[in-house]
Structure 1
Amino acid sequence: MAATLAGIAAAPAAANPKYAGIVIDAKTGKVLYEDSADAPRYPASLTKMMTLYMVFEAMSSGRINKNTPVTFSRKAASEPPTKLGVKAGGSITLDQAIKALVTRSANDVSTAVAEFIGGSEENFARMMTAKARQLGMNSTTFRNAHGLPNSEQKTTARDMARLGIALREHFPQYYDYFSTRSFTFAGRRINTHNNLLGSVKGVDGIKTGYIRASGFNLVTSVSTGGRSIVAVVMGGRTARSRDAHMADLIKRTLPNASTGSEKLLVAKGTTVTPVIASAASRKAGVVLPGRAPLPQEKPEVPVTAYAEQAPTPVKAALAEAIVSGGDLDELKTASTPVKGWVIQVASAPTEEDARKVLSHTAEQASSLLADATPFTEVFVLKGKTYYRARFGGFESKTAAWDACTSLKRKNVDCYAVQN
């Protein structure tokens, strides 16, 4: 068996430096085949698998549904093909958006969805990367929502297989979208790019991808005869050769997959609370918060821009601070920024508002933040002055991230950063 599998990889791997592949038993997690599975690769439109993961997560939270309208900004409408072709100011339903991502791999739809959920594509990419870390995809970084060329947007075949399994396990109620072969939009029939659907027994998704730097990529899910696998092929020279290689991998590895009971292979992690951006906030270019931005990145989050969307109980505190001035006891804060690892919980248009958010957060997590030092820090974003609301005094990155994780369990948005 080992010799046979080695033969599968020999031709594509030896002749093509972009090649990477892996097959995983979706019931047990056993690796049935791998070659260069941990080598960095460009995901191309496999990126949209994570875009859709974020969409499904937002749908599961009840914040949006398949009939929710998604409006296209000028930026979204101007994305290069492949695209759906919606004009700036136009909108489609979320159901149409999902189908366009699955079948046509529409880049304009990716950006529109990213701006809708994350407030900006940049912030949505931070949310995607943070989610990748929660899912154990430690070699993946996203810089956009569609997969168009970006030298910093990297992944591995193993990480993409893990994402494919996570989509199956975490969102069975939405997973059927990946088996969509075509849908009708504006009188046009739009067919899937996934040629294995309907041509290889048991294939039920997931996603194709291509840019020149990546070659032809494909993640495939197969369920048949009591067996389930998720397979990844990256770096194909043509779509046809990629598909043929994938079909061969399925044929050779599926008989070795388990017919036993399934077990959870990918933990869900912390749910990212979506910030459903208004048209006004998108127009203003406001960067809105995700749950766990990367530590080296510092998204600035004007609290007035997302108070209406913030989770309870933070929403109540923000509303009190911004709308009524509030009567919360103000917390004594450090007069100068605290150095080292800190946690940011919000930013506000005035120092008074920032202090009130700190007071409320300290009240909600008094034991957790007993030894932390609250402080405010001024910054300028797009010509406007804001004040960061932060807690300092953490001994290490791990201590700050652990504290932030605990705050999230109390529905407090935050991120850790080295000041």
Structure 2
Amino acid sequence: MIQHARVLILSVGLALSGLSTPAHANNSRYAAFVVEENSGVVLHSRRSEAERYPASLTKMMTLYMLFEALEMGEIGLNDPIRISANAANASPSRLGLSAGSTISAENAIRALVVKSANDVAVAVGERLGGGESRFGELMTARAAGIGLTNTTFRNASGLPNSRQTTTARDMARLAIALHRDFPQYFDYFNEESFRYNGRTYRNHNSLVGRVRGVDGLKTGYIRASGFNVVVSAERDDHRLITVIMGGPSAAARDAHAEELIEAAFATLEQRQDTRLFAALSSPRINPVRQQDLIALDVAALHLSEPVEMGSADQPPALQIVLADEDEMRVDTLAPVRDRPAAARSGSEPIQSQGSWAIQVGAYNTADAAHDRLAEVAIYSGALGSAQPAARAVTISGDRLWRARFENLTEDSARLACRDLSARSHPCFAVAPGR
């Protein structure tokens, strides 16, 4: 059985190593990263932790902040965003909006995604942060909260700033966070064009609508960065996030991204065979233990770390998932609302009541909000004495229910959000009166 697994694992790697090495792979600005979002399997990594300039990939974080403000009720899709003189004077690419004019939040989203409009990015930063410099600080802090550990933002647009840096891996994390935390807004990234003031703008991401399964996300370019792109693509049950940084041209970057996407999907298909053979092991053992055993066996092969496709002497190492997701579920993760409060662990700290709250989502129905509260309540002891609540709010004519835990102190609210964020659950601490 183990020998079969070795053969299949090697065949998976060969599917990736059969690509030709692109000419730009050796330039000093190049980096690449490919990950399967649902499983976390890294399919390709080249200089993914090296410091790079994000350019307009920055606007993904600006959009994350805008989506978050929409969910918190701080702004509505139809609310106007004022264009200041500073915003109007931003360097191209831009919509060319005049100082004193306004653009709706929804059109601002489309302008950022499709046109990559710097004047709109500046205006959004000023609207949400009170100033673009302050907004950069808020972006950096929020980015750290969602796992971007090597990223610093200084502006909302991605225009040149020597202190605004990131990594290919962090940009993949940001793409995953956008899809995970704001699926209700993700379709904006899939729009091929945007019409505004009588003009139609085509999406800078040429892969959208052309490569099967691609549904976003964002391109970027400044002279210091080269041509960057983050691409989301879904086929069957697999969703890939592909990051290319430092391409020599938009065409070369897009061709390389497409090549990586196709190779990665082919690899994932072959990996199904690995899982099938693992499932045929006899006698049947606990799937978690089985995964440990195969992982040890794979480690014994002494495969190289992932390298650029086509330049590897040996196939890239892969994380292998063997057990079906249904088999990995643990009964103790049942919804907490089915368990009385007294039944929770006696070791969980009891917090004194306060006027702070945390918000873990906003939903179209109260039931959905309560379901979310039940799902995440067990992940932080700081919520031991909190009161779960679904609070109705109307935003731009739409009625939503905020999923909140109330009656917390400031310390317990922030602790609870740290606990939830560590498990990749979005969470906001809500100050009194908000």
Aligned residue number for residue 143 of structure 1: 154
Shift of the alpha carbon at 1:199? 0.9
After superposition, the CA RMSD in angstroms is: 2.8
Change (3 A) 1:173 1:240: same
In the alignment, the residues of structure 2 paired with residue 215 and residue 128 of structure 1 have an alpha-carbon distance, to the nearest angstrom, of 23
In the alignment, the residues of structure 2 paired with residue 150 and residue 197 of structure 1 have an alpha-carbon distance, to the nearest angstrom, of 29
Aligned residue number for residue 34 of structure 2: 23
One-letter code aligned to 2:22: A
Asked if 1:204 corresponds to 2:215, the answer is yes
Answer 1 or 2: which has greater helix percent. 2
Shift of the alpha carbon at 1:10? 4.0
Aligned residue number for residue 39 of structure 1: 50
In 2, are the aligned partners of 1:70 and 1:91 still within 8 Å (CA)?
A: yes
The alignment partner of 1:125 has SS state of helix
In 1, are the aligned partners of 2:244 and 2:257 still within 8 Å (CA)?
A: yes
In 1, are the aligned partners of 2:15 and 2:266 still within 8 Å (CA)?
A: no
In the alignment, the residues of structure 1 paired with residue 18 and residue 28 of structure 2 have an alpha-carbon distance, to the nearest angstrom, of 16
In 1, are the aligned partners of 2:16 and 2:267 still within 8 Å (CA)?
A: no
Shift of the alpha carbon at 1:402? 6.6
Aligned residue number for residue 11 of structure 1: 22
Shift of the alpha carbon at 1:15? 2.9
**Partner deviation per Cα, 1:376-399 (whole Å, 9 max, x = no partner):** xxxxxxxxxxxxxxxxxxxxxxxx
The alignment partner of 2:86 has SS state of helix
In 1, are the aligned partners of 2:13 and 2:267 still within 8 Å (CA)?
A: no
* Pick aligned residue for 2:135 from 124, 130, 136: 124
Aligned pair count reads 283
In 1, are the aligned partners of 2:22 and 2:256 still within 8 Å (CA)?
A: no
In the alignment, the residues of structure 2 paired with residue 163 and residue 217 of structure 1 have an alpha-carbon distance, to the nearest angstrom, of 14
In the alignment, the residues of structure 1 paired with residue 179 and residue 415 of structure 2 have an alpha-carbon distance, to the nearest angstrom, of 29
Q: Which of the pair has the greater relative contact order for Cα pairs under 8 Å at 6+ separation? A: 2
Asked if 1:216 corresponds to 2:227, the answer is yes
In 1, are the aligned partners of 2:94 and 2:117 still within 8 Å (CA)?
A: yes
In the alignment, the residues of structure 2 paired with residue 210 and residue 190 of structure 1 have an alpha-carbon distance, to the nearest angstrom, of 17
In the alignment, the residues of structure 1 paired with residue 183 and residue 430 of structure 2 have an alpha-carbon distance, to the nearest angstrom, of 27
Asked if 1:248 corresponds to 2:268, the answer is no
Asked if 1:62 corresponds to 2:73, the answer is yes
Change (3 A) 1:239 1:167: same
One-letter code aligned to 1:77: A
In 2, are the aligned partners of 1:205 and 1:220 still within 8 Å (CA)?
A: yes
One-letter code aligned to 1:223: E
Change (3 A) 1:58 1:14: closer
The alignment partner of 1:173 has SS state of helix
One-letter code aligned to 2:51: P
Shift of the alpha carbon at 1:184? 1.2
Shift of the alpha carbon at 1:2? 3.2
**Partner deviation per Cα, 1:144-176 (whole Å, 9 max, x = no partner):** 000011000000000000100111111010000
Shift of the alpha carbon at 1:245? 0.2
The alignment partner of 2:51 has SS state of coil
In the alignment, the residues of structure 1 paired with residue 38 and residue 418 of structure 2 have an alpha-carbon distance, to the nearest angstrom, of 29
Aligned residue number for residue 114 of structure 2: 103
Change (3 A) 1:14 1:245: closer
Change (3 A) 1:96 1:256: same
In 2, are the aligned partners of 1:137 and 1:159 still within 8 Å (CA)?
A: yes
One-letter code aligned to 1:197: V
The alignment partner of 1:210 has SS state of strand
The alignment partner of 1:160 has SS state of helix
Structure 2, unmatched stretches of 5+, are 1-11, 273-323, 329-354, 358-407, 420-427
Shift of the alpha carbon at 1:55? 0.4
In the alignment, the residues of structure 2 paired with residue 68 and residue 410 of structure 1 have an alpha-carbon distance, to the nearest angstrom, of 22
**Partner deviation per Cα, 1:119-138 (whole Å, 9 max, x = no partner):** 00011111110111011110
Asked if 1:411 corresponds to 2:431, the answer is yes
TM-score with structure 2 length normalisation? 0.61
The alignment partner of 2:75 has SS state of coil
**Partner deviation per Cα, 1:51-82 (whole Å, 9 max, x = no partner):** 00000001111221110100001100000110
What aligned pairs does 1:15-414 form with structure 2 within 5 A after superposition? Answer: 15-257=26-268, 409=429, 411=431
TM-score with structure 1 length normalisation? 0.63
The alignment partner of 1:154 has SS state of coil
The alignment partner of 1:174 has SS state of helix
Change (3 A) 1:4 1:86: same
In the alignment, the residues of structure 2 paired with residue 244 and residue 135 of structure 1 have an alpha-carbon distance, to the nearest angstrom, of 30
**Partner deviation per Cα, 1:262-283 (whole Å, 9 max, x = no partner):** 99xxxxxxxxxxxxxxxxxxxx
- Tell which deviates more after alignment, 52-61 or 251-260: 251-260
Structure 1, unmatched stretches of 5+, are 264-311, 315-363, 370-400, 414-419
Identical-residue share of aligned pairs (%): 47
Shift of the alpha carbon at 1:313? 6.8
